[in-house]
């Protein structure tokens, strides 16, 4: 009997584990015999356990070090722990993560050079290549699945390359000039990207065509779930909006604070632009009785902003209370600066307007230049732009994905395993 194949998946938390979990679920359904080991790094562990995955952590991998190496790693980790804790990560896991990474850095660079890198870059200087090489030699996987995150994920890809283990990496967003992932010289066997434009950016960076697969981003697959469509329909009914002969119009405004000012923008760092955008869209909807507006400030920031009262036409959405997917599917247009919500809207096929005067856009994340959105030069031009895009909705951009991405990424993994 042919032995079962083994897959190692490695992911950090946030959007990175969110990309891999749907893929692993698809693989579990398609290949029940596939043995999957998931190394859920730092905050990814909570998400993985909630999704039903029995995962590895650094704390379960001490046996890959010799006793003297472990003693050294524990000492290094204890020194780093006071300023590197997180409420969602156990102290044992933090100690193991910090200590093993610091030990691996010393093993690669020597004590003096490793200490200098940690002094300059902190955790961002981790690159546990030696440790990931040991991990792959122990597990002996037939394939590796990871994302574009640096540190442990990048080290796992490099170790797989050196050991001849085929790999699939899922790139979350873009590969613009200067992107660290695009600039890597050691590359995964296959990279799954969000849209054709991202594949073109990687080609321009010198990536071979044989490595590229346009699959979409599995973290956005919730846009295709029946629950999101049902939520969208309920919101339209609640605000008496329909798609009949003379329909109303629903606009979603999604903002975030500006991280830093830009010399070519009149808007400072902070909340000035988000608050001005809310005022402008409230004025716009007040003059259009058939229109409705949803205001959604950044999930980590909304509570710091003054909250105007809801009206029959304006609803303030709080991220912890209302998933964004239903709002996106209900909306006729979405207004952003550089929020990822704008990209999600384009993936859902919704028209996006982005403020080109945003400092964030001028620092490089210009959705209009990327083809994700229609650019609006100034805030004063936003009302007219909204009227135009709602009167004559544009065709979906090349970023639109009508199907879930997880099955496509799973097929890429299967293709490597079947070679």
pLDDT tens across 259-274, in order? Answer: 999 999 999 999 999 9
Distance between CA atoms of residues 39 and 17, nearest Å:
10
Q: Which residue has the tokens 């980590």?
A: 300
For domain 222-391, give the CATH superfamily.
Glycogen Phosphorylase B; (3.40.50.2000)
Q: What's the rounded mean pLDDT across residues 100-124? A: 89
End-to-end, the C-alpha distance of the chain in Å comes to 18
- Asked if 182 and 207 touch (Cβ cutoff 8 Å), the reply is yes
Torsion angle (degrees, nearest 10) of CA 189, 195, 200, 205: -50
Task: Look at residue 267 and give its three-state secondary structure.
Answer: coil
Which residues 6+ apart lie within 8 Å of 312 measured at CB?
Answer: none
pLDDT bin (cut points 50, 70, 90) of residue 245 is very low
Query: Closest Cα partner for 193 from 178, 211, 166?
Result: 211
- Asked if 105 and 125 touch (Cβ cutoff 8 Å), the reply is yes
Residues of the chain with CATH 3.40.50.2000: 6-216+404-417, 222-391
Tokens of residue 206, six digits: 């010198």
- Asked if 98 and 42 touch (Cβ cutoff 8 Å), the reply is no
Phi, psi of 145 (to 5 degrees): -125, 125
Confidence at residue 361, expressed as pLDDT on a 0 to 100 scale: 95
Confidence at residue 1, expressed as pLDDT on a 0 to 100 scale: 47
Q: What's the rounded mean pLDDT across residues 370-393? A: 95
| Residue 281 pLDDT > 90 | yes
State the architecture of 6-216+404-417 in CATH terms. Answer: 3-Layer(aba) Sandwich (3.40)
If you average pLDDT over every residue of the chain, what do you get?
Answer: 91
Distance between CA atoms of residues 357 and 366, nearest Å:
10
Distance between CA atoms of residues 384 and 377, nearest Å:
12
Q: What's the rounded mean pLDDT across residues 286-292? A: 90
- DSSP conformation class of 270: B
Lowest mean pLDDT among 19-23, 137-141, 244-248, 361-365: 244-248
Q: What is the DSSP string of 351-382?
A: -EEEETT-HHHHTT--TTTTTSSEEESSGGGH
Distance between CA atoms of residues 193 and 343, nearest Å:
14
In terms of pLDDT, which residue wins out, 36 or 319? 36
């Amino acid at each position: 009997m042919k032995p079962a194949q083994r897959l190692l998946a490695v992911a950090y938390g946030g959007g990175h584990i969110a990309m891999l979990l749907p893929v692993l679920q698809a693989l579990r359904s398609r290949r029940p015999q596939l043995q999957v080991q998931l190394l859920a790094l730092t905050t990814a562990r909570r998400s993985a356990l909630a999704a039903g995955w029995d995962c590895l952590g650094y704390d379960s991998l001490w046996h890959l070090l010799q006793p003297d190496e472990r003693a050294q790693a524990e000492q290094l980790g204890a020194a780093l722990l006071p300023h590197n804790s997180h409420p969602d990560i156990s102290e044992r896991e933090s100690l193991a993560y910090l200590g093993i990474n610091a030990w691996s850095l010393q093993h690669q660079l020597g004590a003096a050079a490793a200490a200098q890198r940690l002094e300059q870059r902190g955790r961002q200087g981790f690159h546990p290549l030696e440790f990931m090489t040991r991990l792959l030699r122990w597990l002996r996987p037939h394939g590796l699945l990871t994302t574009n995150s640096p540190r442990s994920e990048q080290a796992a890809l490099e170790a797989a390359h050196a050991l001849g283990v085929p790999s699939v990496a899922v790139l979350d967003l873009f590969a613009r000039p200067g992107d660290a992932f695009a600039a890597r010289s050691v590359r995964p066997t296959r990279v799954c990207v969000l849209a054709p434009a991202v594949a073109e950016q990687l080609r321009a960076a010198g990536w071979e065509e044989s490595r590229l697969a346009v699959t979409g981003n599995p973290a956005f697959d919730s846009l295709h779930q029946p629950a999101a469509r049902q939520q969208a329909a309920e919101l339209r009914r609640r605000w008496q909006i329909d798609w009949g002969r003379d329909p109303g119009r629903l606009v979603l405004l999604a903002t975030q604070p500006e991280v830093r000012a830009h010399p070519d923008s009149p808007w400072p760092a902070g909340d000035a632009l988000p608050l001005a955008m809310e005022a402008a869209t409230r004025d716009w909807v007040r003059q259009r009785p058939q229109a409705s507006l949803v205001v959604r400030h950044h999930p980590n920031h909304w509570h710091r902003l003054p909250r105007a009262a809801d009206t029959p036409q304006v609803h303030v959405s709080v991220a912890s209370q209302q998933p964004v997917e239903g709002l996106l599917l209900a909306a006729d247009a979405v207004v952003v600066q550089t929020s990822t919500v704008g990209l999600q809207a384009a993936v859902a096929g919704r028209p996006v307007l982005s403020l080109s005067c945003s400092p964030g856009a001028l620092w490089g994340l210009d959705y209009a230049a990327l083809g994700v959105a229609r650019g609006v030069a100034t805030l004063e031009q936003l009302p007219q732009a909204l009227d135009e895009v709602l009167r004559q909705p544009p065709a979906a951009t090349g970023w639109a994905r009508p199907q879930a991405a997880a099955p496509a990424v799973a097929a890429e993994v299967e293709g490597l395993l079947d070679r």
